[in-house]
Amino acid sequence: MKPTILNTSLWNQLRKLCTSSTLPEIPSCPYNAPAYQGAEYERVKNSYASNISPSVRPFYKEPLLIHQGRSQWLWDHKGKRYLDMFGGIVTVSVGHCHPKLVAAATEQMSKLGHTTSIYMHPRICEYTEKLIGKMPKELDVVYLVNSGSEATELAFLMARLYTGSQDIISLNNCYHGGSYASSASTAMSTWRFPVCKPPGHIHVMNPDVYRGRWGGSHCRDSPVSPGGRKCDCTDDYCLAADKYFAEFEETFRFELPNDGSVAAFIAESIQGIGGAVQYPKTYLKKVYDLIHKNGGLCIIDEVQTGFGRTGEHFWGFQGHGVQPDIVTMAKGIGNGFPMGAVVTTSEIAQHLNKALHFNTFGGNPVACAVGSTVLDIIEEEGLQQNSWKVGTHLLHRLSALRLDHPTVIGDVRGKGLMIGVELISDPETRKPLPHEQMMEIFEDIKNMGVLLGKGGLDTNVLRIKPPMCVTIADADFTVEVIKRAIEIHQDKYLTDKESVFCSAI
């Protein structure tokens, strides 16, 4: 049946009812933010519109002006408190304005704010040794950079220098950055400009067990199963992985040189901007074996999944049972401080000696102090373990919500605090929820005090990737808010049968 939209008056009555006192009180916060004293809201809004790149688009119909943050909380210019369940696009790993981070950055800035690699300083040694201590022993060389895009670019350079080949393979629906080469590996039309891309980038079928050709209830490494899809796989064998891998092999037959040479394959452990998409179990292992057999390198993108976010492991790739040759990381590495890193083997790193390679800000003393302190906080406060505990609880509650609202929530997926909720308009075809309806739900969630992200090619996936210090109470409140927003949506977009009932009220 086609949905019938309620008249504005009735919908507003239902909307007020759904957002009334039935919504639980937002969890408490011990910090009281001071009153905002910055530029007026309209002035800031106009400045964004006229002086800042037009591609920097506000998230909401009524854009937020945020001026204060503590732990998992943010405050706008009116003093309203929000539960941040997106962490500045999966970047705030240990909490906003963590006192240990503030102290570490302040102390280092008072001693030495900047020097480059032409001089030595102790902070870089301290930090890189800590970071390497979190990696497999073969990955023992660190290059510090400023962002995930820059890390991707450097990883590609390393792979091409090492192998002598040019082709980089990536998955459809992936995102690896916005710079020239990193955007060429990105395979989402919403992030592609109509300009010539550099040569040597090949995209292959994305092994999405919910939206793709194959996949079902046993296929992915998540506490919850794909929505509405069954399969004949078992816990020990994944048929979907074999089928997607067969498609991957076709790339070697048709796209690559006759000798099968390839520079690298790059993938996220879980696709982030693509909508928290997980691959079938064993898929990455099969791909890695084939790439290595043909002399290529395997690059894992841990920009969003690293630093304990997936809960079970410190790095997302560990959940796949694979050994990458190069690891790229950023975002949570600095809790919002602009830094990134590439970690690789000594053998691969030696090939950068073929010419000079220099990064002005890579290894900045303040960045190293921040990065080192982030690692300490994750360990001391058990944030990896908290990601698993709270994330698993949240996934199960969201999965139950999907069962209650199967016509709107198509899939719940993820691991730890790397979660996606895919919204649909047809459970049989899995057709994405129309953009305007998605944005209404998104706006309502914000108005009820929770900040989420959105992702996927059709931007119909709610992305839940908060600071790793969130609590069970925060998770429960988030679910109740999403539930209420879904109910508001269903009250507005009724089926013909339901609208007859409403018209009789």
Model confidence pLDDT, tens digit, residues 230-245: 888 877 788 999 999 9
pLDDT of residue 293: 95
Tell me which of 50-64, 78-92, 467-481 is least confident. 50-64
End-to-end CA distance of the chain: 21
Query: Regarding predicted confidence, which is higher, 356 or 82?
Result: 82
| Fold of the 144-349 domain | Aspartate Aminotransferase; domain 2 (3.40.640)
CATH 3.40.640.10 residue ranges for the chain: 144-349
| Nearest Cα residue to 266 out of 242, 247, 291, 244 | 291
Alpha-carbon distances, residue 250 vs 185, 200, 206 (angstroms): 19, 17, 14
Structure tokens at 398: 């969201």
| CA–CA distance, 97 with 73 (Å, rounded to integer) | 10
List pLDDT tens digits, range 436-447. 999 999 999 999
Is the pLDDT confidence value at 431 over 90?
yes
Instruction: Return all residues near 158 (Cβ < 8 A) that are at least 6 apart.
Output: 297, 326, 342, 344, 348, 349, 351, 352
pLDDT of residue 494: 63
pLDDT of residue 379: 98
Continuous segment of H or E residues that includes residue 287: helix 283-293
> Which phi and psi (to 5°) does residue 109 adopt?
-60, -30
Is the pLDDT confidence value at 155 over 60?
yes
Structure tokens at 166: 């040019």
| CA–CA distance, 107 with 85 (Å, rounded to integer) | 30
Instruction: Return all residues near 241 (Cβ < 8 A) that are at least 6 apart.
Output: 207, 219, 279, 280, 281, 282, 283, 286
**E-strand spans in 309-359?**
326-329, 340-344
- How many other CB atoms sit within 10 Å of the CB of residue 211? 21
Order the strands of the 201-204 sheet from edge to edge. Answer: 141-145, 340-344, 326-329, 297-301, 264-268, 168-171, 201-204
Is the pLDDT confidence value at 260 over 50?
yes
Position 18 confidence tier, pLDDT thresholds 50, 70, 90 = very low
Whether residue 200 contacts residue 264, with contact meaning beta carbons closer than 8 Å, is answered with: no
Tell me which of 25-29, 52-56, 137-141, 325-329 is least confident. 52-56
Query: Regarding predicted confidence, which is higher, 356 or 74?
Result: 74
Is the pLDDT confidence value at 60 over 60?
yes
Whether residue 304 contacts residue 468, with contact meaning beta carbons closer than 8 Å, is answered with: no
**Residue tagged 């979190």 (tokens):** 134
Position 22 confidence tier, pLDDT thresholds 50, 70, 90 = confident
| Nearest Cα residue to 425 out of 395, 464, 458 | 458
Is the pLDDT confidence value at 266 over 60?
yes
Tell me which of 255-259, 300-304, 312-316, 500-504 is least confident. 500-504
| CA–CA distance, 464 with 445 (Å, rounded to integer) | 12
Mean pLDDT for all residues in the chain:
91
List pLDDT tens digits, range 205-259. 999 999 999 998 889 999 998 876 788 887 778 899 999 999 999 988 898 888 8
Position 17 confidence tier, pLDDT thresholds 50, 70, 90 = very low
Instruction: State how far Cα 312 lies from the chain centre.
Output: 17
CATH code reported for the domain at 3-94+383-503 = 3.90.1150.10
- How many other CB atoms sit within 10 Å of the CB of residue 248? 20
Instruction: State how far Cα 245 lies from the chain centre.
Output: 24
Instruction: Return all residues near 409 (Cβ < 8 A) that are at least 6 apart.
Output: 227, 398, 401, 402, 421, 422, 423, 424, 486
| CA–CA distance, 292 with 260 (Å, rounded to integer) | 11
Q: What is the mean pLDDT of residues 257-266?
A: 92
- How many other CB atoms sit within 10 Å of the CB of residue 197? 14
pLDDT of residue 52: 85
Structure tokens at 307: 């630093």
Alpha-carbon distances, residue 159 vs 204, 322, 351 (angstroms): 19, 18, 9
- How many other CB atoms sit within 10 Å of the CB of residue 312? 18
Position 288 confidence tier, pLDDT thresholds 50, 70, 90 = very high
pLDDT of residue 454: 96
Instruction: State how far Cα 422 lies from the chain centre.
Output: 14
List pLDDT tens digits, range 93-148. 999 999 999 999 999 999 999 998 889 999 999 999 999 999 999 999 999 999 99
pLDDT of residue 503: 39
Question: Which bin fits 122, alpha (ψ -120 to 50), beta or left (φ > 0)?
Answer: alpha
pLDDT of residue 111: 97
pLDDT of residue 15: 46
CATH 3.90.1150.10 residue ranges for the chain: 3-94+383-503
**Residue tagged 């895009």 (tokens):** 149
Position 289 confidence tier, pLDDT thresholds 50, 70, 90 = very high
| CA–CA distance, 5 with 37 (Å, rounded to integer) | 42
> Which phi and psi (to 5°) does residue 15 adopt?
-60, -45
| CA–CA distance, 65 with 153 (Å, rounded to integer) | 33
Is the pLDDT confidence value at 201 over 80?
yes
**Residue tagged 């020097």 (tokens):** 115
| Nearest Cα residue to 317 out of 139, 91, 95 | 139
> Which phi and psi (to 5°) does residue 17 adopt?
-65, -45
**What is the percentage of the chain residues whose pLDDT exceeds 90?**
80
Is the pLDDT confidence value at 13 over 60?
no
**Residue tagged 């999405």 (tokens):** 208
Position 21 confidence tier, pLDDT thresholds 50, 70, 90 = very low
